[in-house]
Amino acid sequence: VDGALTFALLWFHYCRERNAARSVVEGLRLFIPRGRSAVVQARMHYLNRAAFRFALFEFDERGEIFEELDLSDQGNIATRLVHCPDLSRVQERFRSAAERICAAVPECESVVLGSTELAFRLHGLEFARARVANSSDGFDRSQEIVFGSGAHETLLSEHSEPLFDDLMRRLRELRRAEGDKKHPLWRMQPERWLESEVKLGVSLLDARLDPGFVYAQVPAFAASDRGMIDLLASTRDGRLAVIELKADEDIHLPLQGLDYWSRVKWHHEREDFHRFGYFIETNGTARPLAPQPPLLLLVAPALHIHPATDTILRYITAELDWTLIAVDERWREEVKVVFRKRAHGSGDRATGIG
């Protein structure tokens, strides 16, 4: 149901273009089952009213009652933001475990999952965790390292250490740009890999972005789901920027980006980010954030941008300052921008944005 608006906009556009010579298709009416319209309603709030007419209705199970929803109301678009974890404090807590893992995989990145758990990733792929051990009496607060994932998660011990060393060796050999492209360790979680590369070189996407303030996988809760913002950043002059990434073709990229943009906008208007520990300088002072709505950067490899993306973007409100960024297909080696297309029709090919 959440994806219904994407296909409705494409059908509307097709009908409008097909009948342009003999009739005018003025608008779109979308009907959603009762109780399942929250995401669609939030998205339709930010459609371009100057481009066409549109309305949203809910209907009951029997299809006998139809109720038009108020699209001027954003509804409960974002109920709460998760507090920014203190990376340095958690890293200090798990210092010995981190030293053990980083000695095996020096290129790894540590990611705070909570006050009692630290994850380790290589190019976005999680391969180990350090955590406070569970105990039956609740008093044992010793630490442990687990490696692998899912059913293959293994506790690091004297017995499992040879397996750990072998996995770390294979991980470093295969999870790199020059690795075996057919191997699962190379192919797994390409979106997380792209995210890790973009985070390291965020200014390559847009020269305005400040590499000192980039947050990955920021949890933001909405009325109907728990969303994860791929990357949250700010420009050097303090304007927020939402970066939505896709490593593979995805027809829903524009509206998913709109979801996260609207949540960030909602929290920004309420000055939540400083209160929840984001955009804080090393000396503890809050970095000033510009009052303008966030920027939205939609990023994907050039040959994996869905052809419907342009069509969807033309029906989004002019209030949203978006940029569609295509990167070179060899982004695992280096993130290079092939072209950019901006909200008001201008674009460039691999040049900076002023």
pLDDT score, position 221:
59
- The answer to whether position 173 is within a domain reads yes
- The answer to whether position 109 is within a domain reads yes
One domain, residues 194 and 183: no
Confidence of residue 35 (pLDDT cuts 50, 70, 90): confident
One domain, residues 68 and 176: no
- The answer to whether position 354 is within a domain reads no
pLDDT, mean of residues 38-64: 90
Give pTM, 2 decimals.
0.90
One domain, residues 266 and 158: no
One domain, residues 100 and 171: yes
One domain, residues 161 and 203: no
Which phi and psi (to 5°) does residue 184 adopt? -55, -35
One domain, residues 224 and 246: yes
Would you give the end-to-end CA distance of the chain in angstroms?
A: 39
pLDDT score, position 170:
97
One domain, residues 166 and 121: yes
What would the pLDDT profile of 174-194 be if each residue is shown by its tens digit?
999 999 999 999 999 999 999
Domains in the chain, number: 3
C-beta atoms surrounding 272 within 10 Å: 16
- The answer to whether position 136 is within a domain reads yes
One domain, residues 181 and 199: no
pLDDT at position 82 over 80: yes
Minimal CA–CA distance to 47: which of 69, 68, 71, 67? 71
One domain, residues 142 and 174: yes
Q: Which residue has the tokens 């005018």?
A: 24
Domain range for residue 62? 4-75
Percent of the chain residues past pLDDT 90, beyond the cut: 72
One domain, residues 51 and 127: no
pLDDT at position 239 over 50: yes
Q: Cα(233)–Cα(231) distance, rounded to whole angstroms?
A: 6
pLDDT score, position 21:
74
Please list, in sequence order, all residues whose beta carbon lies within 8 angstroms of the beta carbon of residue 270, skipping any fewer than 6 positions away: none
pLDDT, mean of residues 306-320: 95
pLDDT at position 139 over 70: no
Confidence of residue 75 (pLDDT cuts 50, 70, 90): low
pLDDT score, position 352:
40
Planar angle of CA 276, 281, 284, nearest 5 degrees: 70
What would the pLDDT profile of 149-170 be if each residue is shown by its tens digit?
888 899 999 999 999 999 999 9
